[in-house]
Amino acid sequence: MAERMNLVEVFSSVQGEGIHVGESTLFVRFAGCDLRCRWCDSPGTWQPSAHCEIETARGSGVRRRQPNPVSLAALLEALELLELAAHRWIALTGGEPLLQPEAVRALSLAVRGRGPRIHLETHGLAVDALEQVVAGVDLVSMDWKLASDVRRARDPSPGPVEDFHEAHTAFLKIARAAPEVQIKVVVTPASQAAELDTMAACIAAVDASLPVILQPVTPFGAVRERPRAEQLLALEAALSCVLEDVRVIPQTHPLYGAP
Ligand code: SF4
């Protein structure tokens, strides 16, 4: 099904997270996710969607509905109307785009050389799928999920869940084949310093120079409070003892109402 994909939305904006914050970006949001993050601000992406909402002109906010699955040809036509070549990045995001690796690969190949660099935004756990697509992307932006705030969709609820460190480490080793990698970890008041210490040790064992972003949660869903500055600063200091490039960067797009 490489030529057909289940999407939630396609729109133009600027990047609101990570080290490329503020750079013009076309977002292609894939449907489906196999995790359940407590703060998830897009639970509408968890299941396949009947329709995809596609912005009709760059920055207009005006959208039309297109039935899923969307063909690659129809998507490329929509991207051209949104001025594909004028953007610095195209972000393949979700949901979890690596649940549709053939579509990610086909889209990456189709837009390569047409202007924007290709940014894969992923939960950082689908190792086999990443191997299929990594040669075609310019930036792998992977999350590092903490078991204090994240569970798999299949996990029983409530109750403790298996941590994600081993799977993330395996994923990171493959991701390093991309020209650029960043690792984001969402920090909530419930995040445990010990979890982040383990994360840092895992990353340092692969490559201590990779940028690691501590992203204070934007309250949403079951998470109602931000972490305190003291918590963030202590984490930044502790992680910087073993990692070379640790940054605290909150989401910026909610500040001015961008999608
Ligand atoms: S991985 Fe992303 S889409 Fe899936 S539950 Fe977490 S925040 Fe939501």
C-beta 24 within 6 A of ligand 1: no
Closest ligand 1 atom to residue 36 Cα is 5
Q: Which of 7, 17, 29, 35 to probe ligand 1 with, by most ligand atoms within 8 A of CB?
A: 35
Which residue's C-alpha comes closest to atom 3 of ligand 1? 95
Rounded distance between C-alpha atoms, residue 216 and residue 114, angstroms: 34
CB of 32 shorter than 6 A to ligand 1: no
pLDDT given for residue 103 in this prediction: 98
By the 10 Å C-beta count (0-12 exposed, 13-18 middle, 19+ buried), 219 is classed as middle
- DSSP per position, 32-54: --SEEETT-S-GGGSS--SEEEE
**Quick one: pLDDT at residue 112?**
96
CA of 52 to the centre of ligand 1 (A): 18
Contact 11, 55 (CB under 8 A): yes
Q: Is the bond into 43 cis (omega within 30 degrees of 0)? A: no
Q: Whose CA is nearest to atom 7 of ligand 1?
A: 40
Whole-structure pTM value? 0.97
C-alpha span between 81 and 234 (Å, rounded) = 46
Residue minimizing CA distance to atom 8 of ligand 1: 40
* CATH class of this structure's domain 4-184: alpha beta
Ligand 1 lined by 47 (C-beta under 6 Å): no
Rounded Cα gap, residues 30 and 26, in angstroms: 13
User: What is the Å distance from ligand 1's center to 130 Cα?
Assistant: 17
The domain ranges of the chain are: 4-184
| Average pLDDT taken over every residue of the chain | 95
185 C-alpha vs ligand 1 centroid, how far in Å? 12
Q: What is the pLDDT of residues 187-230, one digit of tens each?
A: 999 999 999 999 999 999 999 999 999 999 998 877 889 999 99
In this structure, the residue with its CA closest to atom 2 of ligand 1 is 95
Mean pLDDT along residues 177-193: 96
Answer whether residue 156 shows pLDDT above 80. Answer: no
Q: Which of 230, 25, 24, 37 is nearest to 143 (CA)?
A: 37
pLDDT digits over 49-96, tens only? 999 999 999 999 999 999 999 999 999 999 999 999 999 999 999 999
pLDDT at 1 over 80: no
Phi, psi at residue 243, to the nearest 5°?
-120, 145
29 lines ligand 1 (CB under 6 A): no
With contact defined as beta carbons under 8 Å apart, do 5 and 30 qualify? yes
Ligand 1 pocket check for 123: Cβ under 6 Å: yes
